[in-house]
Structure 1
Amino acid sequence: MRERGLETAVRVGGAVVVTAAAALAALIESFLVPTYWDGVAIPLAGALAFAGNWSLAALAVWWTGTRWGALLTSLAWFAVVLAASMPTEAGSLVITSGFNGYALLLAGTAGIAVALWRYFRPRPSKAPSAPKESRP
């Protein structure tokens, strides 16, 4: 009985940690949107969003032991990114409309889509196949 409680605590704790990590990653990526090098937009936030969302979803599935853990990270990421892309009362934005802003939104969503496809795609049933007939 005690092992079962410990396993549940690890799974719930893992879900909390991975969800917080997804929210923190989205916050960091949001502030990396205005990354330029000599006047050229560098989509660093988009690259980090794709890799981070895909890997955090895989970590959530491994840590929680259920494929529904992938939804925790995606919901946390979307909540932070949507909040950062809405203007404040003063009119300021964290994620602006431009190449880097769109790259973050597109690449982050693509990372989530790849992860969700990996864990929620329909699997072929493993029905027993009929034995092959032997030919003379």
Structure 2
Amino acid sequence: MIFLGIPLGLAAIALFCWLLFTLAVFALPFFVAVSAGTWAYHAGGGWLGAIVVALIAGGVTLSIGQVLLVIVRPMWARLLIALTFVAPAVLAGYHATHGIAKLAMPSETWQIVFSTIGAIAIGITTLLQVAGMAPRGQ
């Protein structure tokens, strides 16, 4: 049984890392959705109203980002839009990597080093994914 535990544990870690890299581009819309849903719930909307408001807010945030990447022409403005999506992904990537590093190593210094490397990797991946949303040749 122990022989199955090690490969399955490694597969689970690989799956969660892949999921983190894939979903990092949605960190900003997710944050906006959670914030709007929390506001709606505390404003008296109930859990169903909070879910509806959260879905709409997250979808609108993602849509606005994609539309702005298509409409805006200057490269510096596109970079600012992309960095708006990348910054929350880097923060989420740092904390996710730090959680994994805390499980793997006792040294706090190495935890921070690996967390920083993970945040940079997730930031670069997110920047490439957001840049893929922009139209080519403009």
Task: State the TM-score, normalized to the length of structure 2.
Answer: 0.32
Q: Which of the pair has the greater relative contact order for Cα pairs under 8 Å at 6+ separation?
A: 1
Larger radius of gyration: 1
Q: TM-score, normalised by structure 1?
A: 0.32
Higher helix share: 2
